[in-house]
Amino acid sequence: MVITIPKVLSEHELKQYREHLQSADWESGLNSAGEQSVHVKQNLQLNPEGKLAQQLGEHILQVLSEAAKFFSAALPLKISPPMFNCYQNNGHYGWHVDNAIRIIPGTPVRLRTDLSATIFLNDPSEYEGGELCIKDTYGEHQIKLQAGDMVLYPSTSLHQVLPVTKGQRLASFLWIESMVRDHEQREILFDLDQNIQVLGTEHGLDNPQVVSLSALYHRLIRLHVDT
């Protein structure tokens, strides 16, 4: 399931990000490409071990720790340090699947990539092309969100970034190891939680049916979560 989460970053935060990224020292995205992706990847990235990438990444992790919809959708156990990329001058990233395991830089910690995420850092009116295309059981999705919005999707999905033919596309991307490995189970828990939130708003969190559904949700969490 492809899930969009609006306004992960505020306009004020985005302005600060843009100011930093416009003067950043970008390097070839091939520096982090694997054996397969090296043939289809043409973009720029920040050095993940650089001070700017680490500072911005730490801020994103703090923001995500307070984002209720992100937690509900991902049920995160581990989150990779966010990385940053730039597409321009027909830059693109052909069809590929993300590696199943990633090592968190500077640590021995391994992360299973259950979910991939992209946060768009500038408005779609500022560039042409650059759609994130994701293939799943429901077909192909072309995604181009407003600045500050996030898209979350299974890392098993075949996906690509179309060429940016005009302007510049800036984004942050990261991976999540979920407490619930199975995608279908995680989707069911997310749908249930979102409906509980809606019913709680409409009828009150102390409504007997809302309380009963909340209890059911937490029973399912205990059954399926692996910490």
- Cα separations in angstroms, 48 against 7, 23, 55, 104, 223: 24, 16, 10, 10, 36
Whole-model pTM: value is: 0.94
Same domain, 114 and 170: yes
Co-location of 99 and 209 in the same domain: no
| pLDDT, the chain, mean | 95
* In a shared domain, residues 154 and 193: no
Q: Are residues 124 and 69 in the same domain?
A: yes
Query: In this predicted structure, what is the pLDDT of residue 184?
Result: 95
Tens of pLDDT, residues 11-56: 999 999 999 999 899 999 887 766 666 679 999 999 999 999 999 9
Asked if 225 and 189 count as a contact pair (C-beta separation under 8 A), the reply is no
Rounded Cα–Cα distance for residues 94 and 36 (Å): 10
CA distances from 74 to 68, 138, 157, 171 (A): 10, 20, 15, 19
pLDDT digits (tens, 9 = 90+) for 77-89: 999 999 999 999 9
Is the per-residue pLDDT at 215 higher than 80? yes
* Residue whose structure tokens are 């994103």: 60
Domain containing 188 equals 183-224
Q: What is the C-alpha separation between 77 and 99, in angstroms, rounded?
A: 18
Find the CATH number of the domain harbouring 44: 2.60.120.620
- Residue 20 marked ligand-binding: no
- Contacts (Cβ under 8 Å, ≥6 apart) of 150: 4, 5, 8, 70, 117, 118, 119, 120
**How high is the pLDDT of residue 86?**
98
Residue 169: beta bridge partners? Answer: 87
How many CB atoms are closer than 10 A to CB 150? 27
SS3 state of residue 53: helix
Give me the percent of the chain exceeding a pLDDT of 70. 97
pLDDT of residue 226: 86
Domain match, 80 and 140 both: yes
159 assigned binding-site residue = yes
69 and 129 part of one domain: yes
**Mean pLDDT score, 132-159:** 95
Q: What does the pLDDT read at residue 146?
A: 98
- The amino acid present at 219, given as its one-letter code, is R
Report whether 183 belongs to an annotated binding site. no
Where does the pLDDT of residue 108 fall: very low under 50, low under 70, confident under 90, or very high at 90 and above? Answer: very high
* Range from 38-42, 64-68, 155-159, 178-182 carrying the lowest mean pLDDT: 38-42
pLDDT of res. 138: 82
Exposed e or buried b per residue across 59-69, where buried means at least 16 C-beta atoms within 10 angstroms of its C-beta: bbeebbeeeeb
The amino acid at 105 = P
Q: Which of 140, 161, 178 is the last residue of a domain?
A: 178
The response to whether 110 counts as a known ligand-binding position is no
Contacts of 213 (CB under 8 A, 6+ apart): 192, 195, 196, 199
123 & 208 share domain: no
- Is 126 in the same domain as 43? yes
Do 43 and 133 lie in one domain? The reply is yes
155 and 200 assigned to the same domain: no
Q: What type of residue is 84? A: F
pLDDT, position 36: 65
Per the structure, how many domains does the chain have? 2
